[in-house]
Amino acid sequence: MLNKLVDIYCTCYDVIHQLRIKDDIQSKLTKAEIMTVAIIAHLRFGGNIEAAKEFMFCHKHIKFNLSKGRFNKRLHAIKNDVWNMVLKQLARKNLTNEFAIDSFPVPACRNIRVNRCRIYKTKNYYGFCASKDEYFFGVKTMVITTTTGQPVELKIFPGSFHDAKSAKHLPFNLPKGSKIYADKAFNDYRYEEKLARENKLFLMPQRKSSSKRKNSEFVDWMIKKKRKIIETAFSQITKIMPRSIHAITAKGFELKIMLFVVAFAFNASF
């Protein structure tokens, strides 16, 4: 546990240093320490930050135990780009030119309680999960992983967003010449051509039976085989998540999803 804690802190510190983010002189905890506590909370305490703070303070891993409100304010001030940078830092060891992209649903509440949900209230968050053949009310988490299952990019969208539409909002900060394997939901000829022309990236989705640009049997077999690892990664991520994620705001809910993915990435790396 101590070795993993040191690895988490060092990775967070390196990212903060690379991005040239400076802490306020009056801060009792550095941003790297805030990030470390948050990751430990989602890795070992089911997302309970108060329990993680108490653990870290009692074992003298942090010098100060900030109040709940102050800690949350500091944590929410860390931008999503920083967390995505942490994912990239972890994936550098196993970075290749092959990736997989897919999304998994995270319900904000059970379908029977939709009318009482305080986090999301618009119809945009009604979605359908084809793999589970069920409707849900919440968000879709779009993730790009290496072919070893290591997450490198993540973005969260309303549940009603289609995968092909959501993919257009990802930065795709991947090495040039990379191949990105996807399922049938990502079929979009124009976007595939644009991605290849402007970013030198090759999106390779499985083709539908009615597709005009069908793949060969070998290519379809290869895509299916390469994509299996991302489905395994999703099952492992949802396994460390609690049955219901406690959050008061939409931003807090999405931040916790991000932190569970980051926690999984650390678990898979070390």
141 and 49 together in one domain: no
- Whether residues 130 and 155 fall in one domain: yes
- The pLDDT of residue 160 is 94
Q: Are residues 72 and 107 in the same domain?
A: no
Surface-to-core class of residue 158, CB atoms within 10 Å of its CB (0-12 exposed, 13-18 middle, 19+ buried): middle
Beta bridge partners of 141: 104, 156
Clarify whether residues 107 and 216 are in a common domain.
yes
DSSP assignments along 68-117, one per residue: HHHHHHHHHTS-HHHHHHHHHHHHGGG--SEEEEEEEEEEEE-GGGGGG-
Q: At what angle do helices 250-269 and 80-91 cross, to 10 degrees?
A: 10
Domain assignment present for residue 260? The answer is no
pTM beyond 0.75: yes
Residues of the domain holding 55: 2-78
The pLDDT, as a whole number, for residue 93 is 72
Q: How many domains, the chain?
A: 2
| Pair (148, 232) in one structural domain | yes
Query: Of 145, 126, 147, which is closest to residue 136 (Cα–Cα)?
Result: 126
pLDDT, residue 2, reads: 80
Looking at the domain assignment, is residue 253 inside a domain?
Answer: no
Token pair 């299952």 in the structure block, residue: 149
Is residue 56 a part of any domain in this protein? yes
How do 179-182 and 98-109 pair as beta strands? parallel
In a domain, residue 267? The reply is: no
* CA–CA dist 221, 152 (Å, integer): 24
* 32 in a structural domain: yes
Q: The tokens of 156 are what?
A: 């969260």
In a domain, 268, yes or no: no
Over the chain (270 residues), what is each successive 10-residue block's mean pLDDT?
Answer: 89 94 89 96 94 94 92 95 94 85 94 90 91 92 93 95 92 92 92 93 90 86 90 92 90 96 89
What's residue 196's pLDDT?
94
Going by C-beta distance under 8 Å and a sequence separation of 6 or more, which residues neighbour residue 131? none
Domain co-membership, 33 together with 152: no
